[in-house]
Chain A
């Protein structure tokens, strides 16, 4: 509390009550009914994902039914990459412009990315147990995924420890930038090393290695999870704003008590 008070006195306490350039624009455009519409679209998308994964997509000849884990595992991984990329973007812009709203944007994405990476690790481990017969192997893709998870858990622990201070935001931005190095390594690991993990199904600039019906099912799932990510980003950012406002009000109460 003392450090928050000191920072507040110096005008350094995170002020994200103004709307963020990206999320703020989305919030303004969407409004209350827009958010409800996004929630409805996400729910429909998730129901379509279940239909596509369990009914529409054909059963894979070699792996059998367990291959259908792919329709949640890949979108979860895609959202993790997207979220960690936005941690990088938010961190770079924060260091450049010293605008706390971008720091909050980075922190929101680190939290969402960590939750999704946790689910990637769990779903991948269950698929590995069913297909490889092992919960875990120290394969390059799996190891870099775990490393990525530790980096962002460390980021969140650092932010929780340092609080909403300028010093914490700067340290977080540095970790957010350096930590992103592992993400492209993780994506490319199946190309760079001989891994047990299956190859990229949608290689950048390449031809998809799947039948059309599986691609369609995957696309439905990717769209649904991206809608869910958008909804989560808006809600967690609103939570960040409310938390910052609560802290600022508590500082005002403390200061008014000292007068």
Chain B
């Protein structure tokens, strides 16, 4: 009985920490993609300005 709770606890703690790390990586990827697209858009607008 006690061993079951022990194993479940360690599994939940480690899976929880792994899930949190995974969530950080996913958020970082999303933000980096946002930064890249915003930079590209800004560069496009800055390049358009001298011609107008």
Residues of A whose CB lies within 8 Å of any CB of B are: 50, 53, 63-66, 68-69, 72-73, 76, 115, 118-119, 122-123, 126-127, 129-131, 228, 232, 235-236, 238-239, 242-243, 245-246, 249-250, 252-253, 256-257, 259
Question: Within 8 Å CB of B2, what residues of A?
Answer: 63-66, 130-131
Contacts of B28 in A (CB 8 A): 235, 238-239, 242
Partner of B38, one of A235, A239, A253: A253
Q: A residues within 8 A CB of B3?
A: 65-66
Please classify how large the interface on chain B is, using the bins under 10, 10 to 19, 20 to 34, 35 or more: 20 to 34
Report chain A residues within 8 Å CB of B8: 126
A236 and B23 CA atoms in complex are apart in Å by 10
Docked CA distance A119–B11 (Å): 11
CA distance A259 to B48 in the complex (A): 12
In contact, B6 and A68 (Cβ under 8 angstroms): yes
By secondary structure, the B interface counts as helix
Tell me if A232 and B6 are in contact (CB < 8 A).
no
Closest to A251 in B: B38
- A246 neighbours in B (Cβ, 8 Å): 31, 34-35, 38
- The A-B contact count (CB < 8 A) is 88
Contact A123 B9 (CB under 8 A): yes
Residues of A contacting B31 with CB < 8 Å? 239, 242-243, 246
Query: Known contacts A130-B1, A239-B28, A250-B38: does B6 contact A69 (CB below 8 Å)?
Result: yes
B1-50 with Cβ < 8 A to chain A: 1-3, 5-6, 8-10, 12-13, 16-17, 20-21, 24, 27-28, 31-32, 34-35, 38-39, 41-42, 45-46, 49
**Cβ-defined partner of B35 (8 Å) among A119, A131, A245:** A245
Bound-complex Cα distance A68 to B13 (A): 13
Name the distance in Å between A31's Cβ and chain B's nearest Cβ.
18
A224 CA / B23 CA spacing, docked (Å): 21
Most chain A beta-carbon contacts within 10 A, residue among B5, B21, B39 = B5
**Is the pair A119, B17 in contact by a Cβ cutoff of 8 Å?**
yes
B24, A72: Cβ atoms closer than 8 Å: no
What are 7 A-B pairs at a CB distance below 8 A? A72-B9, A118-B16, A126-B8, A130-B2, A239-B31, A252-B42, A253-B42
**Contact yes or no, A119 B38, CB < 8 A:** no
Hey, which chain B residues are within 8 Å of A239, CB to CB?
24, 27-28, 31
Q: Which residues of A contact B45 (CB under 8 A)?
A: 253, 256-257
CB distance from B34 to the nearest CB of A (A): 4
Q: Is there contact, CB below 8 Å, between A66 and B24? A: no
- A119-B16, A122-B13 given. 5 additional CB < 8 A pairs? A65-B6, A66-B5, A115-B16, A119-B12, A250-B38
B9 touches A242 (CB 8 A): no
User: Residue on A with the closest CB to B8?
Assistant: A126
Q: In the assembled complex, which residues on chain A have CB atoms less than 8 Å from the CB atom of B20?
A: 115, 232
Q: Are A129 and B5 in contact (CB under 8 A)?
A: yes
